[in-house]
Amino acid sequence: MGPSLPGERNSTSAPTIAGVTPTGDALAVAVTGNDQLTLLAFLSSGCATCAGFWEAFQTPEHLGLPEGIRLVVVTKGPEMEIAGEVGAKAHSRLQVVMSTDAWGDYEVPGSPFFVLVDGSAGRRIGEGVANHFSQVAELVRRAQIDMQAFGIGTRGQGGEEGGSRSRAFAGGLDGPARESANDEELRAAGILPGDPSLYPTSLDDVFPSNIDVLPPQPDRTGTHPSTQRQGQERRAG
């Protein structure tokens, strides 16, 4: 299943993205404390794989994202990216934040990289890479179905104020506590220790064949080199 996550990669926190726009205005996007799913697209102006995403974002209405998903593009700050080039690639209605700090906060190993945040749960619920936006949209759609199925992610409807928040996914558990909660849920679903589904033998057992993941391009500027990993999509809890 690829290399295990480094020890420091157990955080699911989702801090506010704050930086500047390509035109020099200031912009801060709060991705928690609301009822939305926010998809953060960490892109670079110069990375070859990113070019397809910049092009796809020219027509946001054709992206195929489920309704109500907020899309925010995050590039590195103006000290590492040429603001004019970023501005030239961005559609006028696309929210673009230039923030090197955000790349560190979200432990981005390289570009392109996508992070899905559940605003109501206040945490990252998925992250990974893809080579076409349709694959990202499919992962977002699945996450949305999960949220609806588990009754989580909606403020005031079993969100922060109670309801179906017993799952590790929704409860913000981490480390051993999350592992124990997951074991409990697996047992409740009839998946006991030794179940073959717990021991995948190939990536195809984990990822459906139509989800073609690529390793992120190594970060040219060396942000968090210790966090680089290959082609993983993490789903919390």
Partner 1 sequence: MATLQAHGIQAQLPSNFEGRIFIRPRVADEITYPVAHFATFPLPDQVGDFGSGAVTMMGPSDIFAVLFEYGPESVGTRLFARPGMPRSLGSNDFRPNLLRKGIGGQSGTQWFFTESGRPFTLYAVLGSHARRGALVPRVNDLLSNLSVSPQPLPVAHGTATWN
Residues that bind partner 1 in the complex, under the rule CB under 8 A: 15-18, 20-21, 23-30, 32-34, 36, 70, 77-84, 93, 95
Instruction: Find the shortest distance in angstroms from Cβ 139 to partner 1.
Output: 21
Residue 55 near residue 73, CB atoms below 8 Å: no
Instruction: Find the shortest distance in angstroms from Cβ 48 to partner 1.
Output: 20
Nearer CB in complex with partner 1: 106/232: 106
Nearer CB in complex with partner 1: 2/15: 15
Amino acid at 56: A
C-alpha span between 197 and 191 (Å, rounded): 8
DSSP per-residue string spanning the chain: --SPPPTTTT----PPEEEE-TTS-EEEE--SSSS-EEEEEE--SS-HHHHHHHHHTTSGGGS-PPTTEEEEEEE--TTTS-HHHHHHHS-TTSEEEE-HHHHHHTT--EESEEEEEETTTTEEEEEE--SSHHHHHHHHHHHHHHHHHHT-S-TTTTSTTSSS--SHHHHT--HHHHHHHHHHHHHHTT--TT-GGGS--SHHHHS-TT----PPEEPTT-SSGGG--SS--EE--
Nearer CB in complex with partner 1: 68/196: 68
Instruction: Find the shortest distance in angstroms from Cβ 200 to partner 1.
Output: 37
Nearer CB in complex with partner 1: 17/129: 17
Nearer CB in complex with partner 1: 6/33: 33
Nearer CB in complex with partner 1: 16/182: 16
Nearer CB in complex with partner 1: 26/188: 26
Instruction: Find the shortest distance in angstroms from Cβ 34 to partner 1.
Output: 6
Tokens, residue 92: 């006028």
Instruction: Find the shortest distance in angstroms from Cβ 9 to partner 1.
Output: 22
Instruction: Find the shortest distance in angstroms from Cβ 26 to partner 1.
Output: 4
Instruction: Find the shortest distance in angstroms from Cβ 21 to partner 1.
Output: 8
